[in-house]
């Protein structure tokens, strides 16, 4: 079985955020040989936690995205895709939240969206053989990365047709994401993977299930364009999210 390749783009500068960060890009098995073929793309936040235990938040604990994608693609359960990991910065809470909260800060998600849509995405589209269109473009992350994926995915649904929200922080600012989703006009609707572990803290499961119910009221349908999973015994960490990579890739990027 062939395996995908990882390529790092160091110190990628953003004029919108006035900072820089590394990007790490996974290309699927066969990418180099199939030089006429173009591929769908998935953008993931907290890039240092995705591929390498040496760079992850808890040393040795990463999502194993590369190995998992290789296994799924080689097994034919996931279509070959490009995965872009965007490292976080010291401004992670600011960048991953849609609103400002006293004591916690935050509120720069719209500017982070400009960084992603006007800086990162054009760069990736230039450097790699990507497929265009919302059905071929996804966004995902966990915790605050799950929150910002939902916020950007629902707001920029013409760009992102697939959203992976693992353990999203729907509690942020008295569940502002619920009110946002209730009032948003989203057409066409992106496919959404939504999950939460039962050992992530009090009330968090109810919060995420309330968000799921908002989506159902807005017209999403379970197992058609929405998958919800309550993961028994799962905690709020990289090791738990690593277990969900294969299932969410299979739901959002099934073989064509």
In this predicted structure, the answer to whether residue 173 has a pLDDT above a threshold of 80 is yes
59 by Cβ neighbours in 10 Å (0-12 / 13-18 / 19+) ranks as exposed
Instruction: Give the domain extent around 57.
Output: 5-252
- In this prediction, residue 226 carries a pLDDT of 98
149 touches 163 (CB < 8 A): yes
The conformation of residue 56, written as its DSSP 8-state character, comes to S
In the chain, the N- to C-terminal Cα span, in Å, equals 20
In this predicted structure, the answer to whether residue 194 has a pLDDT above a threshold of 80 is yes
In this predicted structure, the answer to whether residue 233 has a pLDDT above a threshold of 80 is yes
Going by pLDDT thresholds of 50, 70 and 90, the confidence category of residue 54 is confident
Instruction: Express each pLDDT in 58-94 by its tens digit.
Output: 778 899 999 999 999 999 999 999 999 999 999 999 9
Instruction: Express each pLDDT in 125-153 by its tens digit.
Output: 999 999 999 999 999 999 999 999 999 99
Q: What CATH number does the domain containing 35 carry?
A: 3.40.50.1820
- In this prediction, residue 58 carries a pLDDT of 76
Going by pLDDT thresholds of 50, 70 and 90, the confidence category of residue 239 is very high
pTM beyond 0.95: yes
- In this prediction, residue 137 carries a pLDDT of 98
User: How much of the chain, in percent, has pLDDT values that exceed 70?
Assistant: 100
- Alpha-carbon gap, residue 39 to 88, rounded angstroms: 25
Split into its structural domains, the chain has a count of 1
CA dihedral 152→156→161→167, nearest 10 degrees, is: 10
In this predicted structure, the answer to whether residue 6 has a pLDDT above a threshold of 90 is yes
- In this prediction, residue 216 carries a pLDDT of 98
- In this prediction, residue 164 carries a pLDDT of 98
């Amino acid at each position: 079985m062939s395996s995908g390749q990882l390529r790092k783009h160091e110190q990628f500068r953003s004029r919108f955020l006035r900072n820089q960060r590394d990007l790490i890009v996974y290309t699927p098995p066969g990418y180099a040989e199939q030089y006429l073929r173009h591929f769908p793309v998935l953008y993931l936040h907290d890039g240092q936690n995705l591929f390498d235990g040496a760079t992850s938040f808890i040393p040795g604990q990463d999502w194993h995205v590369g190995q998992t994608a290789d296994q799924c693609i080689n097994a034919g359960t996931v279509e070959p895709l490009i995965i872009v990991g965007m490292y976080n910065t010291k401004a992670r809470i600011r960048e991953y939240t849609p609103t400002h909260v006293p004591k916690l800060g935050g509120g720069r998600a719209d500017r982070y969206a400009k960084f992603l849509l006007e800086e990162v995405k054009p760069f990736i589209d230039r450097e790699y053989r990507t497929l265009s269109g919302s059905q071929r473009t996804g966004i995902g992350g966990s915790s605050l990365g799950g929150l910002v994926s939902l916020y950007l995915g629902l707001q920029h649904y013409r760009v992102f047709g697939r959203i992976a929200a693992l353990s999203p922080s729907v509690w942020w600012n008295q569940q502002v994401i619920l009110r946002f989703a209730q009032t948003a006009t989203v057409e066409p609707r992106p496919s959404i993977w939504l999950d939460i572990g039962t050992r992530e803290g009090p009330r968090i499961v109810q919060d995420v299930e309330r968000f799921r119910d908002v989506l159902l009221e807005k017209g999403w349908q379970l197992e058609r364009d929405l998958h919800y999973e309550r993961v028994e015994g799962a905690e709020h960490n990289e090791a738990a999210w690593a277990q969900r990579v294969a299932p969410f890739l299979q739901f959002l990027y099934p073989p064509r």
